Amino acid sequence: MAKEQGRKLVAQNKKARHDYHIHQTVEAGMVLTGTEVKSLREGRASLADAFATVDDGEIWLRSAHIPEYSHGTWSNHTARRTRKLLLHRREIDKLTKELDAKGRTLIPLAIYFNNGYAKCEVAVATGKREWDKRQTIRERDDNREAARALAARNKRGG
pLDDT at 121 over 50: yes
Q: How far apart are CA 29 and CA 10, in angstroms?
A: 14
CATH label of the domain that carries residue 71: 2.40.280.10
- Confidence bin at 1 (pLDDT 50/70/90): very low
The total number of structural domains that make up the chain = 2
Note whether 45 and 59 are same-domain residues: yes
The pLDDT of residue 56:
87
Q: In this predicted model, which residue has the larger pLDDT, 81 or 150?
A: 150
100 φ, ψ (degrees, to nearest 5): -65, -25
Q: What is the pLDDT of residues 79-113, one digit of tens each?
A: 677 888 999 999 988 888 888 888 888 999 988 98
Residues in contact with 85: Cβ distance below 8 Å, sequence separation at least 6, in sequence order: 28, 29, 30, 31, 52, 59, 60, 61, 120, 122
* Mean pLDDT on 127-153: 84
Q: In this predicted model, which residue has the larger pLDDT, 23 or 129?
A: 23
Surface-to-core class of residue 19, CB atoms within 10 Å of its CB (0-12 exposed, 13-18 middle, 19+ buried): middle
Q: Is residue 62 part of a domain?
A: yes
* Mean pLDDT on 133-158: 85
Note whether 135 and 122 are same-domain residues: no
Note whether 101 and 63 are same-domain residues: yes
Q: What is the pLDDT of residues 29-75, one digit of tens each?
A: 988 887 888 888 888 788 888 888 888 888 898 888 887 776 666 66
The pLDDT of residue 77:
62
Q: Is residue 41 part of a domain?
A: yes
Find, among 35, 11, 26, 24, the residue nearest to 113 by Cα. 11
Note whether 112 and 134 are same-domain residues: no
Note whether 31 and 92 are same-domain residues: yes
Q: How far apart are CA 61 and CA 50, in angstroms?
A: 7
Note whether 69 and 82 are same-domain residues: yes
Q: How far apart are CA 58 and CA 86, in angstroms?
A: 8
Note whether 39 and 49 are same-domain residues: yes
Question: Which domain does 101 fall in, by range?
Answer: 8-127
77, 36 contact by CB (below 8 A):
yes
Q: Is residue 117 part of a domain?
A: yes
pTM over 0.95: no
Note whether 111 and 135 are same-domain residues: no
Note whether 52 and 97 are same-domain residues: yes
Q: Is residue 43 part of a domain?
A: yes
pLDDT at 2 over 70: no
Q: In this predicted model, which residue has the larger pLDDT, 111 or 130?
A: 111
